[in-house]
Amino acid sequence: MLITGAAAGIGRETSRVLARRGYALALLDRDGDALRSVCDEIASEGTTALSWKVDLAAPTADEELAEIASVLESRPEGVTGVVNCAGVGGWNPVEKVTPDDWDHIVGVNLRGAFLVARHTVPLIRRRPGGAVVVVASDSARWPFPDRTAYCASKHGLVGFADALREELRPYGTRVSVLTMSRVDTGFNGGRAGSRPEALRPESVAEVVGFVLAQPPLVEIREISLTSVASPFGPFTAVAQMGKSYG
């Protein structure tokens, strides 16, 4: 199982959950030190994982992913699925979003998912019952002010996943999307543990594990998650717009 964004937040917790469930893991992240840390943690629990430091927004990402796919193809366990957790944010009014900001956010959140699929799908579809889990956001469904680049990238990510599902269904490969409200991680410069009312990353990871554990004929197309104490979504988006423009 390949996990992107595996060194922090939802990706890290997903790596831990799947390791405990016996999955052979291949972990990707742009933070090499944090990636080594999660690999050490997994090893301390009796599981090993392959890992690569990769920046999905880098010009070299396509070539690096091709090399990684070649390594994974040669291993007996192959690739049974992908969990796409890599993501970046950036909240700014549209006139303050630079082209570089836009390219970076879209590059990680959308282009990165495409590149990973481009190189792993040929391996996954060889094994009936394979799965792709795309960790998205409620920003894919609802507009939020100051998130033009982020919302666009997540809307695109869900559209990509929906089309990929139709492409892979004949091979018995399922594609699932998780859209969620705020999660208590260090995402976008936040501090993990500072938002106790939000979803916990380990809770999201357990849902990922649940999706992957379904029988081969069960296709979960989308799961929407929110905290009962922090119900982000359409009403919160409207309220935020009122504060911004009222």
Condensed to tens digits (0 to 9), the pLDDT of residues 84-111 reads: 999 999 889 999 999 999 999 999 999 9
CA distance 161 to 159: 5
CA angle (178, 183, 185) in 5-degree steps = 125
Q: Answer yes or no: is pLDDT of 7 > 60.
A: yes
The first and second tokens of residue 90, run together, are 């950036």
Res 143: pLDDT = 83
pTM for the model stands at: 0.90
Q: Answer yes or no: is pLDDT of 128 > 90.
A: no
Of the two residues 6 and 147, the one the predictor is more confident about is 6
Share of the chain above pLDDT 70, in %: 89
The number of folded domains in the chain is: 1
pLDDT in tens, 150-196: 999 999 999 999 999 999 999 999 999 999 888 887 665 666 666 77
Residue 133, domain CATH: 3.40.50.720
Res 190: pLDDT = 64
Task: Please classify residue 69 by burial: count the beta carbons closer than 10 Å to its beta carbon, then call 0-12 exposed, 13-18 middle and 19+ buried.
Answer: buried
Residue 246: which pLDDT band, with cuts at 50, 70 and 90?
very low
CB 85 within 8 A of CB 6: yes
Helix (H, G, I), strand (E, B) or coil at 223: strand
Q: Which domain holds residue 61?
A: 2-245
Res 188: pLDDT = 57
Tell me the torsion sign for CA atoms 4, 188, 235, 196. Answer: positive
Residue type, 115: L
